[in-house]
Amino acid sequence: MKLTALKRLLIAGLFALGLTVMATANPALAGHWQLDTTQSTALDGWNKMDLTIGLDGSKVSVDYRMQWRATVHEATNVFDTDTPVALDEFFRVEQRHMAVYPAKHGVTKAVAKWIDGDKTLLTEALTPVEVSQGDVMMRITTEYRVSETGDRLTVIELHSSRNRPLVYVFNKVTGEDAK
């Protein structure tokens, strides 16, 4: 049986779509993660941080729950690995104690993609911040790397305003620990 060019194109397109769907996310990234403070960069005033990462097609949500004594702050950043996003309330971990505040009415532009054979999530955000000299753009490049065993997450942030990266190490919270 001879396939027409249209049928061949359709089959190739469906095959490519199937590969794209299979390679859109590392499922081990999803879940609840708790900061290991002994392995991580100092939190500048926060003493606890949890991440909950959700995967929904090309969308990746990163929910932060930060705590300092009785003060609790929760925030969410949602990225899309298919298209750039604009975030009105982009959250940065260090923003509370660095005197670098989100610019009023600022919009953060962010992109995300899977790298390292679709194992690592890479995000890049251009976020307007307010400093003593006025408003400037800060670039934040972040990698979310899950260990081979799936029980440890390393988050590496490189800021255009710093020479050293921030490194946060998290342990996966499962079963009874998740409560």
Mean pLDDT of 8-23: 44
| Cα–Cα distances in angstroms (integers) from residue 163 to residues 64, 131, 157, 158, 160, in the given order | 24, 18, 11, 8, 8
pLDDT of amino acid 177: 60
pLDDT of amino acid 94: 72
Please check whether residue 135 is in contact with residue 163, taking contact to mean a CB–CB distance below 8 angstroms: no
pLDDT of amino acid 133: 87
User: pTM for this structure?
Assistant: 0.82
pLDDT of amino acid 150: 95
List all residues 6 or more positions away from 113 whose beta carbon is below 8 Å from its beta carbon. 81, 121, 122
pLDDT tens, 111-159? 999 999 999 999 999 999 988 888 999 999 999 999 999 999 999 999 9
Work out the number of other CB atoms within 10 angstroms of the CB of residue 20. Answer: 11
pLDDT at 71 over 50: yes
The tokens of 31 are what? 């879940």
CA dist., res. 73 & res. 64, Å (int): 8
pLDDT range class, residue 3, cuts 50, 70, 90: very low
pLDDT of amino acid 151: 97
Average pLDDT of the chain, as a whole number: 85
pLDDT of amino acid 132: 85
DSSP 80-143: ESSS-EEETT---GGGGTSS-EEPTT--EEEEEEEETTTTEEEEEEEEEEEETTEEEEEEEEEE
What's the CATH architecture for 27-178? Beta Barrel (2.40)
pLDDT of amino acid 4: 56
